[in-house]
Amino acid sequence: MSLAEHSQAGRRMRLSPWSVGAALIAALVVAPILSVIWIAMFPAQNIWPHLISTTLPRYLSNTLILMTGVGLLAGASGAGAAWLVARYDFPGRRWLEWLLLLPLAIPAYVGAYALVDLLEYAGPVQGALRQMFGWQTARDYWFPEIRSMGAAIVVLSAALYPYVYLLARNAFREQSATSDEVAQSLGAGPLGRFWRVGLPLARPAIAAGMAVAMMEAVNDFGTVDYFAVQTLTTGIFSVWLQSNNAGGAAQIASCVLALVIVLVLLERGSRRRMRFFNLSSRHRPVNRTRLPGGAGWLALVLCAIPFAMGFVLPAGVILRHALRNAEVWADPDLWQAALHTLSVGGIAAVLTVLGGVFLVYGVRLSGRSLPRLLLPVTTIGYAAPGAVLGVGILIPLAALDHVLADGVEAATGIDIGLVMTGSAFALVLAYCVRFFAIAQGAADAAMGRVSPNLALAARSLGRSRGQTLAEIHYPLIRASLASALLLVFVDCVKELPATLLLRPFNYDTLATRVHDQAALENLGEAAPAAMLVIATGLLAVGLLARANR
């Protein structure tokens, strides 16, 4: 081998710091998932037989019922509203097109607290009914059970249908007028065109939205816990925190992870099987049909129902309590929780976006196909529920913390305590892993729009790789990174299961304060914190609406 060939081979074999850093970031994101699997396979105390013979069937059946119910109801309401908004013109359509996204600003557990407060026995609805009809006790009349599986499905569907609505609306918009006109010429009415043309063409988008809604339903803890519905997620909390069995919690978490993986595979499989292409060179969008009179008002009512259930009802109830309990706004604990939320969420958002940029840039610099496999692998954290990540992070970190503390004390005689699990470190790590896919996806899409010639020109002028990133890429992608930063921060503010498991002792965020006070049936104390969470969520919804104009 010549000297030149040997030098070229050496350069190929040499690992750059960017590639090594990208691999380390990917390993850090995937590690909690692998940790859960390892702990489940090799628990300190194997309780699989006990779980299978007692609680696991109930947890699994309730989770499957919840997933199916939320998927169907969110899919029907989201796709139906998207079809009406995209294909018809009726009173209030312009407003509803964006108002239908607002439930994304309200966590499902806040909607659960508001629904119970409104409809429970001591609430205003049943109180008004007793006063109106002269009923004295609950034995005098029938009213549906509020804390039930059905109510949990309704609340979660009302909070999650925008995932289906947003994807389905875009799919219906992009369909060609030609196929609609052909169906109409063959005698198909409005309903027939929806079932035979519009729905099949939009099925991949609807399936993707339903899969996201079902995964979020599996992740939920606050809603099902408040409604006393025992799912796999609540099982993780009860087995770990009440039975003090980390191995059993990991085994239940592995079941949750398996369910989520099945959902992801089904969603991707449905998209591969349902691909449609526009073969016409004269693509024309479908013109909206004006709905006259009663039909237009009916469409308005049908679209307003999910918006009212998902946003107006919970926001109205929480706002009423927040105004009635104005003194709570002066509570130092509220603002301490807000400070914790701002600091932890802000640090996690910055680290997540920086990690996403580093990973994407490092993979692009490698120029090889193998490192590009890191990108889809790192998105698994977003699919994994927060409770699963909590198990996968806390158990190994606690063991590492004890080893570190014992080593320092043996060497110096100083007891440093639990540095990682005794602080917000574990919480920040969980947020970074959980929402890394958002930052990575934004960075990858933004860098993909930057011409490679710009980076090559900068390198030819003597700029290093770091300088090229800072001087060439960053100015062109900073708007996308700012959007990702906001979205990650808002998701951190709303995240409840991982926060409950990983927060240090006596450490509240806005989400945990809302949960703790609502669990004590003290919605007045929870309302101000809930309003701050909703206000933060509205920022993200506004950004999302702006990006999807």
pLDDT tens for 221-274 read: 999 999 999 999 999 988 887 788 888 888 898 888 888 888 877 767 666 655
Residue whose C-alpha is closest to residue 257's, from 41, 512, 502, 26:
41
Who has greater pLDDT, 16 or 506?
Answer: 506
The C-alpha atoms of residue 491 and residue 434 are separated, in whole angstroms, by 9
Over pLDDT 70: what percentage of the chain? 88
Q: Which class does domain 16-46+325-549 fall in?
A: mainly alpha
Question: Which residues, other chains included, contact 208 with Cβ-Cβ below 8 Å and sequence gap of 6+?
Answer: 167, 267, 271
The C-alpha atoms of residue 82 and residue 165 are separated, in whole angstroms, by 5
At 138, the pLDDT band (50, 70, 90 cuts) reads: confident
At 72, the pLDDT band (50, 70, 90 cuts) reads: very high
**Would the pLDDT of 354 be above 70?**
yes
pLDDT, residue 2, reads 45
At 191, the pLDDT band (50, 70, 90 cuts) reads: low
SS3 231: coil
Pick the CATH number of 47-277+297-320 from 2.70.70.10, 3.40.50.920, 1.10.3720.10, 2.170.8.10: 1.10.3720.10
At 64, the pLDDT band (50, 70, 90 cuts) reads: very high
Average pLDDT over residues 497-510: 91
The C-alpha atoms of residue 263 and residue 267 are separated, in whole angstroms, by 6
The C-alpha atoms of residue 429 and residue 348 are separated, in whole angstroms, by 7
**Would the pLDDT of 520 be above 70?**
yes
**Would the pLDDT of 3 be above 60?**
no
Residue 412: which region, alpha, beta or left (left: phi > 0; alpha: psi -120 to 50)? alpha
Where in the chain are all domains bearing CATH 1.10.3720.10? 16-46+325-549, 47-277+297-320
Average pLDDT over residues 202-217: 86
The C-alpha atoms of residue 510 and residue 507 are separated, in whole angstroms, by 10
Question: Which residues, other chains included, contact 230 with Cβ-Cβ below 8 Å and sequence gap of 6+?
Answer: 55, 58, 59, 62, 224
Who has greater pLDDT, 105 or 13?
Answer: 105
Q: Per mean pLDDT, which of 61-65, 143-147, 183-187, 266-270 is the most reliable? A: 61-65
Over pLDDT 90: what percentage of the chain? 33
At 368, the pLDDT band (50, 70, 90 cuts) reads: low
What separation, in Å, do the N-terminal and C-terminal C-alpha atoms of the chain show? 59
Residue identified by tokens 């029938």 is: 142
pLDDT, residue 369, reads 60
Burial of 232 (0-12, 13-18, 19+ CB in 10 A): buried
At 339, the pLDDT band (50, 70, 90 cuts) reads: very high
Burial of 403 (0-12, 13-18, 19+ CB in 10 A): exposed
At 6, the pLDDT band (50, 70, 90 cuts) reads: very low
Residue identified by tokens 């009914």 is: 129
**Would the pLDDT of 36 be above 80?**
yes
Q: Which helix (H) or strand (E) holds 88?
A: strand 88-89
The C-alpha atoms of residue 131 and residue 137 are separated, in whole angstroms, by 11
pTM score: 0.86
Who has greater pLDDT, 279 or 451?
Answer: 451
| 268-295 per-position pLDDT tens digit | 766 665 555 454 445 566 678 888 888 8
Average pLDDT across the chain, whole number: 84
Residues 151/226, Cβ–Cβ less than 8 Å = no
Three-state SS annotation for 248-274: HHHHHHHHHHHHHHHHHHHHHHHHHHC
pLDDT, residue 471, reads 81
Worst-scoring range by mean pLDDT, 154-158, 169-173, 524-528?
169-173
Bridge partners for 289 per DSSP? 88
The C-alpha atoms of residue 429 and residue 386 are separated, in whole angstroms, by 12
Residue whose C-alpha is closest to residue 274's, from 346, 179, 207, 223:
207
**Would the pLDDT of 404 be above 70?**
yes
Who has greater pLDDT, 195 or 68?
Answer: 68
Q: Token pair of 119, please?
A: 């409809």
Q: Amino acid identity of 309?
A: M
At 212, the pLDDT band (50, 70, 90 cuts) reads: confident
At 12, the pLDDT band (50, 70, 90 cuts) reads: very low
Q: Token pair of 356, please?
A: 């996403």
The C-alpha atoms of residue 474 and residue 401 are separated, in whole angstroms, by 37
At 541, the pLDDT band (50, 70, 90 cuts) reads: confident
